[in-house]
Amino acid sequence: MSDVKKFLYVNRKAPYGTIYALESLEVVLIGAAFEQDVSLAFLDDGVFQLTKGQKTDGIGVKNFSPTFRALGDYEVTKLYVEKESLEERGLTEDDLQEIMYEDEDDDWEEKPSIRIVSRAEMADVMADQDVVLSF
Partner 1 sequence: MKIGVLISEGPYTHQAADTAFKFVTAAIAAGHEVPRVFFYHDGVNVATRLSVPPQDERNIQQNWSGLAKEHGTDLVVCIAAAQRRGLLDENEANRQGKDANNIADGFRISGLGQLIEMGIQCDRLVTFGD
Contact present, 27 and 9 (Cβ < 8 Å): yes
End-to-end CA distance of the chain: 29
The residue type of 28 is V
Smallest gap from residue 135 Cβ to partner 1 (A): 8
Binding flags for partner 1, 19-48, as an x/- string (CB under 8 A): xx--x--xx--xx-xx-x------------
Q: What are phi and psi of 8, to 5 degrees?
A: -120, 125
Number of C-beta neighbours around residue 122 at 10 A: 20
Q: Residues 92-131: x/- map of binding to partner 1 (CB under 8 A)? A: --------------------------------------xx
Query: Which residues of this protein are in contact with partner 1, per CB under 8 A?
Result: 3, 5, 7, 19-20, 23, 26-27, 30-31, 33-34, 36, 130-135
